[in-house]
Chain A
Amino acid sequence: MSLYFTKEHEWIRVDGDVATVGISAHAQEQLGDIVFAETPEAGRTVAKGDDAAVVESVKAASDVYAPVSGEVVEGNEKLADDPALVNSDPEGEGWFFKIKLSDPSELEGLMDEAAYKDFVANL
């Protein structure tokens, strides 16, 4: 499994041709207490850069973009009842959706974990 990050602070964990997407630990920390999350339904097709999910903290609303193109195969239904999972386990149980990749080459422009750490450190 490979882990990638975007400049918009999503993470993507790729297993075969399916990618799980969430927001980074850094992103949830910046947002603070998450009170609402809306995830896409299975079957929806998204292009790289599209708004795919919504996350709201006490203070602010934010879009979660699709870091890669493809068909959504699952949205994390647990987030509807327990949006705080995004705070407590952002890169695990707090995932947002899974996408079946339509163009795996899109992964090439993304950061690996070390590059993302450097990116965040320089913000």
Chain B
Amino acid sequence: MSGNEPSKLPLDSWHRERGARMVEFAGYEMPIQYEGIIAEHNWTREHAGLFDVSHMGQLSFAGDRVAEALEGLLPGDFKNLKPGKSRYSVLLNDSGGIKDDLIVTNADQHFIAVVNGATKQADYKHFFRKLPSNVGVTMHQDQALLALQGPDAEAVMVECLGIKGAPDMGFMTAGLADWRGNWLWISRSGYTGEDGFEISVHVDKVKELAARLVSDKRVKPVGLGARDSLRLEAGLPLYGHDLDEETTPVMADLGFAISKRRREEGRFPGDERILGELKDGSIVKRVGFTLDGRQPVREGAKLLDGEGNVVGKITSGGFSPSLERPIAMGYLATHLSDEGTVVKAEQRGKLFDVTVAAMPFVPHRYKRQQGKK
């Protein structure tokens, strides 16, 4: 790797041929949009969007007592995670701050984690240093990752790719499937709030797979811009914006990522602090906001109380294409975080009224149970 030149995705030329505008993100040249963020956003909510998320890190962990080893770094219950099941988790630093958020899957012989693109090298080093020597960690640079998201995703998996088992998969399950003699690793997950699948495929086959998927009339390629507006509507935090090393899972309202058994036993990084916050509450909390009018408040806007004291900050803000109004998320002093509370946001010298609102802003449509919608 040479200097700070952005790397190219395996689908780089494929994106350009389809008119994508490319921008630098997480060290890669990434497609931010094709026909436009609003159209791509709405297409995903109504049909199926194809996202190239090959910049994300695909790690695997193998060795004796691998679940126990992972529990030394993450607060999830991996000992009781059944094969084929996935769980959202957070990689913690020694003071309980979030180094990354990730999805961990029990792949039977080993565990898999999908981590953020911007943090994958640091994550890999952290795992390599901190895991016991009997557990090996591998970064799968030869695997690309596509996400097919939206209400038509299941039908496309079956009818276009011939993955007959897709309808039997529930949210946060994963497994291998055969596509024209190639192995695909498929998870029923994503980061848009829609039902959908993430498909890990060898880089040599990803062009063929992407072309096959967009040959289906229900599928269009979708860029990073719409991925961001979709995840914001779904109330999902984005690492590096809504989550960082200063933030604990309790502050980030991700208490669900700390499994019941682990709350009782502790023994994860920063356990004392995190268990204390679970018991007594944290001083700030991640919440959602709505605004009147059409002008969004953006990341970085300060939140002020009636006396002008700083009581928080916006960490993600934009215009919701589904609701046709601005929405935001950020951190607010917990005593002000009840739904309906109005505070001021200061942006470029101007004050905006923002109202604490329930998240998700747009209901999730995950397929929670096998065989049922």
Please list the residues of chain A having a beta carbon within 8 angstroms of any beta carbon in chain B.
32-33, 35-36, 38, 54, 56-59, 61, 83
Chain B residues with CB under 8 Å of A54's CB are 295
Residues from chain B with Cβ under 8 Å of A32 in the complex: 33, 36-37, 225
**Contact among A36, A38, A56, A58 for B229, CB-based, below 8 A:** A58
**Within the assembled complex, what's the spacing in Å between the Cα atoms of A35 and B348?**
18
Q: A56-B295, A58-B225, A58-B229 are in contact. Are A35 and B319 (CB under 8 A)?
A: yes
Q: Contact between A58 and B294 (Cβ–Cβ < 8 Å)?
A: no
Prevailing SS type, chain B contact patch: mixed
Q: How far is the CA of A111 from the CA of B36 in the complex (A)?
A: 29
Q: Closest CB of chain B to A33's CB: distance in Å? A: 5
Are B37 and A59 closer than 8 Å at their CB atoms?
yes
Q: Give the residues in chain B near A35, CB-CB below 8 Å.
A: 294, 296, 319
Contact A36 B295 (CB under 8 A): yes
Select A61's contact among B33, B228, B296, beta carbons within 8 Å: B296
Q: Chain A residue with minimal CB distance to B317? A: A61
B interface residues with partner A (beta carbon < 8 Å): 32-33, 36-38, 41, 225, 228-229, 294-296, 298, 318-319, 321, 348
Given A35-B319, A36-B319 in contact, is the A61-B37 Cβ separation under 8 Å? no
5 nearest A-B pairs in the assembled complex, by CB-CB distance: A35-B319, A36-B294, A58-B37, A33-B38, A36-B295
A59 & B295 in contact (Cβ 8 Å cutoff): no
Determine the distance from Cα of A57 to Cα of B41 in the docked complex, in whole angstroms: 14
Smallest CB-CB separation from A60: which chain B residue? B298
Chain B residues whose C-beta falls within 8 Å of the C-beta of A56 in the assembled complex: 295-296, 319
Given contacts A35-B319, A36-B295, A36-B296, contact A59 B228 (CB under 8 A): yes
The answer to whether residues A58 and B318 also contact, given A32-B37, A32-B225, A33-B37 and a CB cut-off of 8 A, is: yes
Known A-B contacts A56-B319, A58-B229, A59-B225; A33 and B294 likewise in contact (beta carbons under 8 Å): no
**How far in angstroms is the closest Cβ of chain B from A108?**
31
